[in-house]
Chain A
Amino acid sequence: MTELIRTSPSVLLAEKTARATTTRRPPFRVILKQHWMLYAMLLPALILLALFHFYPIWGVLIAFKDYSPVKGILDSPWVGLDNFRRFFESQNAWPIIRNTLFIAIGKIFFVQLAALVFALMLNEVRIRIFKRAIQTATTLPHFLSWVIIGGIMVQILSTTGVVNRVIGLLGIAPIRFLGRPDIFPWTLIFSEVWKEFGFAAVIYLAALTAINPELYEAAAVDGAGRFGRLFHITLPGIRPTIVLMACLSLGSVLNAGFEQVLVLYNPVVYRTGDIIDTFVFRVGLVGQGGMPDYGLGAAVGLLKSGIGFFLILLSYWLADRFANYRIF
């Protein structure tokens, strides 16, 4: 092995094992000469990172300024925390934060619960072709955009739509799923469940297939019934996956589903359906009755991504601590 490295071309010079035998690292100039291609390969990504990730982060400055497009970012006057103060002093702040958390947490809880129960049910199916057909049908909605799903929802959930026709057969008066503030958040949550439970179940199904079949055989010999096996083998077997999903979901409690809400909401349900993302979009880009308020939009957006950043770090830390999960 060492022989190979010594006789190899210069590209292997910086091999770590070789480095261990020498006392000094080669100077950067030498490395660059030999490995310029490695650096060149990172160049496109570096430029893309700089332009589309770090340049916008620098633009966050306008959250602390009275930004005017004419003056630009640097020359607009500083206003300190004024934009943040304006947000919290407005009527909007509390309902928007509450709506975001309610919708996001509702989605996480019900999607994961539905996915878990569905996966456990599907796991009991012994007819392979049936299992496969069910999975094919239930994962399809995941791959369609919210424009398509939203368009379908508008059709089937309207007061004269097919859903109201079906519940009308049970003698229930038509429900305005998309027009009643008290119902709208639940419409969001359950349309998300409908779209995502099948795909979310894939990870649980993968965990289920990893359980050693011998455990089930041993349990059967010991006389364990269906529910005995469920509680003593299946659930303990996928416990790490459940813990992992719970940890990671913490990172998305501020993501209530921008595209979904944008497609489905309307002014009638703003009171309970407006979330941070849609608020930022309307105030900061569209402008409500006039110029967009860039500063306010940027401030609220920064608030969200700042807290979101710490939540993601926390969720990764928890996932590493409790489920041995690392992304790198």
Chain B
Amino acid sequence: MAGKASLSDRIVDAILYTILLILALACVAPFIHVAALSLSNQAAVAARQVGLWPVGMHFQNYLFIMADRLFINSFGISLLRVVVGVSLGLLVTVITAYPLSRDHLYMPGRTIFKLLMLFGMMFSGGLIPYFLALRDLGLLNTFWVLIIPLALNIFNVILVINFFRGIPQELWEAAVLDGASHLQVLFQVFIPISKPVLATITLFSSVMHWNSWFDGVIFLKEAVQWPLQSYLYSKVTTRMLQWQTAVSAEVAGQTFQEATPEGLATAMILIATIPILIVYPLLQRYFVTGLTLGSIKE
């Protein structure tokens, strides 16, 4: 806009760009450092020589982890959790949002239902009654405790209601005049044109399911049932000590002299990060829509 930048303007720009660059590096550098740690040899890690590049590169930490059956197992559970949890969540979201978005249809009880949903969204009984409820329902120590309690995400429902409301009424009427039932209208007319909002929900709930760990830790007793992040939590907190003895017995015959508790923790952290990095470019496209999801949360 300003035709010629003055000298002071350019100095301000230079300072701005430098600060922004430092901020960006501060956000990325810890990941690179952790990656370098996971690939460096024991002596270099102990001597604190590792910065952003591995010293004495080796892959034993990763080989060790790949030989850990519990880890592979937890990775599989996490993937399964994402696929099943997100699909079920999407289904529940759209079939709930459809009736609530048809404001022009006279439907007694709808307002009460909405109020119940809003109340359920804003008030919870707290952790202890929630735990006892899951126990009473027989969900503890089953895979489904990671799926079913999260199937109804009220924020997502609100988002889809608002999107469905924006669909031109003529489209709905045309489909109904053609003799389509509500279910057919939803799946054959509404869903195909709701891709942006459904993509947002899919991405954000995939990340949510992948990242959840607390539910696994408290609702599932056995480590064989844990998703990856719960397993990682147990490793980060007990500092790998138990793990090392347990697993070295399991993979007897192979020795991993360069593997260290620190190296294993950092390697696992990195492996758990990779799936997020893969979907990250997609996520970025839906930031702003996703934000409306996030900003009304909590």
Contacts and interface: CB of A to CB of B under 8 A. Distances in A.
Given A145-B229, A297-B127, A309-B123, A73 B132 contact: yes
B296 A327 contact: yes
B230 to A, nearest CB: 8
Given A41-B95, A49-B117, A147-B229, A133 B24 contact: yes
B211 interface: yes
A60 interface: yes
Nearest to A127: B17
B46 to A, nearest CB: 9
Interface string A143-156: 11101101110111
B252 interface: no
A9 interface: yes
B127 A284 contact: yes
Contacts of A217: 1
Interface string A196-215: 00110011001000000000
Contact of A56 (B13, B130, B177, B237): B130
A42 B237 contact: no
B39 interface: no
Contacts of B221: none
A152 B129 contact: no
Interface in A13-51: 14-17, 19, 25-26, 28, 31, 35, 37-39, 41-42, 44-46, 48-49, 51
A305 B125 CA distance: 7
A37 B182 contact: yes
Interface stretch (B25-33, B59-67, B192-200): B25-33
Contacts of A28: 108
A162 B272 CA distance: 22
A117 to B, nearest CB: 10
Contact of B272 (A25, A26, A136, A148): A148
Contact of B287 (A26, A139, A220): A139
Given A42-B96, A54-B120, A280-B127, A263 B233 contact: yes
Nearest to A54: B120
B92 A152 contact: no
B283 interface: yes
Interface residues on B, range: 35 or more
A159 B283 CA distance: 35
Contact of A301 (B114, B117, B125): B125
B246 interface: no
Contact of B123 (A42, A46, A57): A57
B132 A45 contact: no
Contact of A194 (B27, B130, B269, B280): B27
A206 B288 contact: yes
Contacts of A52: 130, 133, 148-149, 152
Contact of A15 (B104, B108, B124, B229): B104
A60 B130 CA distance: 9
Interface in A282-302: 284-285, 294, 297-298, 301-302
Interface in B155-186: 157-158, 161, 173, 176-177, 179, 181-183, 186
6 contacts: A35-B107, A48-B92, A62-B129, A121-B16, A133-B24, A148-B272
Given A52-B133, A206-B288, 7 more contacts: A48-B148, A143-B211, A194-B26, A258-B214, A294-B128, A297-B126, A305-B125
